[in-house]
Amino acid sequence: DGVSCGDCLSNTITKKVKTRLETDQIPSIGRTFYVSPSGTATTCSNGAEFSVIQQAVNCATQPGDTVLVKAGTYNQGFLISQSGASYNYITVRNSGNDRVVLDGTGLVDGGCIGAETQNRPCGIRITGGYVRVRGFEIQKFGNGIYAQLTAHNVIIEDNFIHDIDRTDWQTEIRVGRWDATDPVYVANITIQRNTLVHVKRGQTSMSFDGLSQDNGGGHVIRNNVIRTNYWADDAHGNDCIGGHPN
């Protein structure tokens, strides 16, 4: 828009533009760490297999590192605070097509800060950058996935989040701050191909929080499925909200 051309036929310029939205082309090439219910590793050697996801994630400190979680139900959440690089993301995902369930039953604090710790644990909390999270089934938490504080250039994709019903004000995927005291500049979060089902007594399937000057924007939401979202037993909740410009 706003471009004029006096002689377009004789002055045609052809360019190929690549944008950050081509997320499937972003690599993760580096070390690999594994998680399984029978894992026994205690040190961060390449190929090590742990039983606790957070232990493996703590090892993924270099651009391109990958954590592959094998099939099982894990009564645990985890935090990704480190960052990859624009050319080589840190990836935390399921191994192959394995069904990996994060179950928050009985957990009190899954890593969220502020008031969320009051019976609102997170399945996955992200504060780092150039990170990809893929292929988890998340249930029974207060917040499914929370990109918070200084999270940036994060890809959240192909997750199945359901039955987020611990107490009121639940969110399946949340981006931004909890309140004005949180230092935050969250930017460039891509949320794609996720299925969000049955957030109950909790208002929102996707929430973008933060004052306009603090939420960095640049977020992309595409090809997600949202259904059966209840504010109360007989009222539909919010599929996606943002209280301030994003």
SS3 readout for 12-81: CCCCCCCCCCCHHHCCCCCCEEEECCCCCCCCCCCCCEECCHHHHHHHCCCCCCEEEECCEEECCCEEEC
Q: What is the pTM of this model?
A: 0.80
Q: β-strands 187-192, 220-222: how paired? A: parallel
Q: β-strands 90-94, 78-80: how paired? A: unpaired
Q: Please report the pLDDT score of residue 163 as a whole number.
A: 82
Residue 64, Cα to own-chain centre: how many angstroms? 17
pLDDT tens, per residue, the chain with 246 residues:
344 444 444 555 554 434 454 566 788 899 999 999 999 999 999 999 999 999 999 999 999 999 999 999 999 999 999 999 999 999 999 999 999 999 988 887 655 544 444 556 788 999 999 999 999 999 988 788 888 878 899 999 999 988 876 555 556 566 665 555 555 578 898 999 999 887 665 555 555 554 344 456 788 888 988 877 665 555 444 545 444 444
Q: Which residues contact 94 (CB under 8 A, 6 or more apart)?
A: 68, 69, 70, 71, 100, 134, 135, 136
Q: Please report the pLDDT score of residue 105 as a whole number.
A: 87
The position carrying tokens 């957070």 is 54
Which three-class secondary structure state does DSSP give residue 176? Answer: strand
**73's tokens:** 């139900």
Reported as half-sphere exposure (CB side, CA atoms, 13 A), residue 22 has a value of 7
Per DSSP, 118 falls in state T
122-126 sheet: strands from edge to edge: 78-80, 122-126, 143-148, 171-176, 204-208, 238-242
Least Cα distance to 58 among 79, 74, 72, 85 occurs for: 79
